[in-house]
Copies of this chain bind each other. A is one copy, B any other.
Amino acid sequence: MAREFALIDRYFARPTPSAALGPGDDCALLQPTPGMQLAVTTDMLVAGTHFLPDAGPWNLGWKTLAVNLSDLAAMGARPRWVTLAGALPEADEGWIAAFADGFFACAGEYGVEVVGGDTTRGPLNLCVTALGEIEPGRALRRDAANVGEQIWVSGRPGLAALGLAQLQGRVALPEPWPRLCIAALEKPQPRVALGQALVGVASAAIDVSDGLLADLGHIARQSGCAAAVRLVQLPHLPKGESYDAALRKLALECQLAGGDDYELCFTAPVAQQQTIAAIAARLDLPLWPIGEMTAGRPGEVTVFDPEGQAVEFQHKGFEHFG
């Protein structure tokens, strides 16, 4: 008994001033802010499916929390509390300490408290549930985009998938891309401030965790619209004339269909363009208008090349049971 609880107490029980009761009882007790809605999300990360089995524990701790905060960001919610459940094949104290350090570094960066958890023996598996708050009726849902609105994306989707390809030796990226891409894969930055800034500005939002086209397809389907994406408006990746054709093709595939990015894709009326530009400047985060919602078949996403011709892609997203 002592050993399990000592490990948990030592590394995961940190002060939780925002909770009425933190870890150590059957439940945590939380006092929601009066009048606010709760945004709730859960994500499970499995070794071999979501991260390389030899992933460093600090980065893994960071990412385990970051991917959940990304879902709160995609609703425009303010992160408040999280629970963490983990199955570990063994009680390796060094690994647990480094994992906890990474997890709490992310928690501190984004202002959430770890109010509960569960540790058990089993194949490595990490499950976080995150709770955020948002004013009723203000959340950035997937189903509220409208025909004629612009489609935007933050940062540079595709970096994470390129980073994975680099780590797996499937590509040798030119400088400075290896470092950028591996950082995007291993230590993603959930766009929490962006999500909150977009409340009242964007009509719909989603995080790009399954790939840009797949996630934009979710917005389109749930909003009853189609979407048009223009290749020339996508942010720069290794795809210029100076790179070889194989790398340009891989970069484009990663950009359109690479999973594991945690940028936000959102829609907004054209009239919001200046406001969005100001948000980008304030957050020092590039926001790219990449196309527009159209009146086509609901859920259909069409990609147009520089000549205005529709192009086809085979891999539209990340599929666990595909």
Residues of A within 8 A of B (CB): 1, 3-4, 7, 20-21, 24-32, 34-35, 37-44, 46-50, 71-72, 74-75, 77, 81, 83-87, 91, 115-123, 125, 127, 129, 131-132, 134, 136, 139, 141-143, 205-207, 210, 214, 222, 316-317, 319-322
Min CB distance A298 to B, Å, is 15
Which residues of B are found within 8 Å of A35, using beta-carbon distances? 34
Contact partners of A28 in chain B: CB under 8 A: 39-41
Q: How far is the CA of A42 from the CA of B86 in the complex (A)?
A: 10
Supplied contacts A31-B38, A85-B129, A122-B125, 16 more A-B pairs, CB within 8 Å: A1-B319, A1-B322, A3-B321, A25-B143, A25-B222, A29-B37, A34-B35, A40-B81, A40-B129, A41-B83, A44-B85, A44-B86, A44-B125, A46-B122, A83-B129, A119-B320
Q: List 23 A-B contacts (CB under 8 A).
A: A1-B322, A4-B320, A7-B321, A24-B222, A25-B143, A27-B39, A27-B40, A27-B71, A27-B77, A28-B40, A29-B75, A29-B139, A32-B38, A40-B131, A42-B118, A43-B85, A44-B122, A46-B87, A49-B120, A85-B129, A119-B320, A125-B125, A125-B127
**Copies of this chain assembled into the complex:** 2
Q: From B3, B40, B139, B222, give the contact of A116 (CB < 8 A).
A: B40
In contact, A41 and B26 (Cβ under 8 angstroms): yes
CA distance A141 to B122 in the complex (A): 29
CB distance from A256 to the nearest CB of B (A): 14
Task: Tell me the complex Cα distance, A118–B319, Å.
Answer: 13
Contact assessment for A27 and B122 in the assembled complex, using a CB-CB cutoff below 8 Å: no
Nearest CB of B to A146, in Å: 17
* Nearest B-chain residue to A222, judged by Cβ: B24
Residues of B within 8 A of A131 (CB): 38, 40
CA distance in complex: A46, B207 (Å):
29
- Counting chain B CB atoms within 10 Å of each CB, the highest count among A27, A30, A141 belongs to A27
10 A-B pairs with the lowest CB-CB distances in the bound complex, closest first: A46-B122, A129-B129, A127-B127, A26-B74, A123-B123, A27-B39, A44-B85, A42-B83, A26-B71, A91-B321
Asked whether A121 lies within 8 Å of B321 as measured between CB atoms, the reply is yes
Report how far A71 CA is from B320 CA in the complex, Å: 31
User: Contacts A316-B1, A322-B4 known; A136 to B31 CB distance under 8 Å?
Assistant: yes
Which residues of B are found within 8 Å of A115, using beta-carbon distances?
Answer: 40
CB atoms of B30 and A37 under 8 A apart = yes
Complex CA gap A127/B38 in Å reads: 20
Give the contacting residue for A49; candidates B121, B143, B222; CB below 8 A.
B121
Q: Considering the chains assembled together, what is the distance between the CA atoms of A13 and B38 in angstroms?
A: 19
| Chain B residue contacts of A31, Cβ below 8 A | 37-38, 136
- Bound complex: CA A143 to CA B21 (Å): 11
